[in-house]
Homo-oligomer: A and B are copies of this chain.
Amino acid sequence: MPHTYEYPRAALTVDCVVFGFDGGELQALLIRRGLAPFKDKWALPGGFVRVEETLDDAARRELEEETGLREVFLEQLYTFGSVKRDPRERVVSVAYFALVKPGAVTAATDAAEAKWFSVSDLPSLAFDHVDILTTALTRLRGKLTYQPIGFELLPPKFTLTQLQRLYEAVLGEPLDKRNFRKKALSYDLLIALKEKHQDGPHRPAQLFRFDPVKYERLKKKGFLFEI
């Protein structure tokens, strides 16, 4: 392809902050780098954007190549463009954040090592990936309080207690059980299933699923899901 503007160009990458939830703590998926620079360090999954693919496509492709993940919630986060963020040369990175349901990372991980880390106990990261991760965390916290995206981190069928634990893990503070349940149900976006969730020597819990159709309808009318 001919370059119309013959100036030196920055390289363009995408990096993905992948969040998961194990029922107790919020987690981030990292991969161990096999190549220099930062060989053997942990880093966000990501890589170079090809000239003939969109940024979203690049993020999805890299995510699948490096972690096996497909069809996940993915959203552009911020573009990081410090001059020295890559020691080799100028690299601008468009960061994404992804939310995945438990058990999604079963697929082969392309020989690369991929591993979940609790966000409260992260290893040291390559490049400026801590900054990216911190930005993603802030965004997730903000978003969770006004958009119903928590469901992307839970199995398709979940109990209200699981939902509450997720909110508590992300927001970092305990929530009142009765108030939380009232609020969560008040939007009429949770459908009670016939099934129950049995999980030990105690009363089984009602299972729910999220109603994405009703949510889309509400969203169009300018709607806020606040909890």
Contact = CB atoms under 8 A, between A and B. Distances in A.
Q: Is the interface of A mostly helix, strand, loop or mixed?
A: loop
A48 B90 CA distance: 14
B81 A94 contact: yes
A1 B81 contact: no
Given A12-B12, A12-B92, A81 B54 contact: yes
A185 to B, nearest CB: 24
Given A12-B10, A79-B76, A89 B2 contact: yes
**Interface size bracket, A side:** 20 to 34
A55 B92 contact: yes
B1 A89 contact: yes
Nearest to A56: B81
Given A9-B9, A81-B94, 14 more contacts: A1-B8, A1-B89, A1-B90, A4-B11, A4-B88, A4-B89, A9-B11, A9-B12, A10-B49, A52-B90, A54-B82, A55-B81, A76-B78, A79-B79
Interface of A: 1-5, 7-12, 48-56, 76, 78-79, 81-83, 88-90, 92, 94
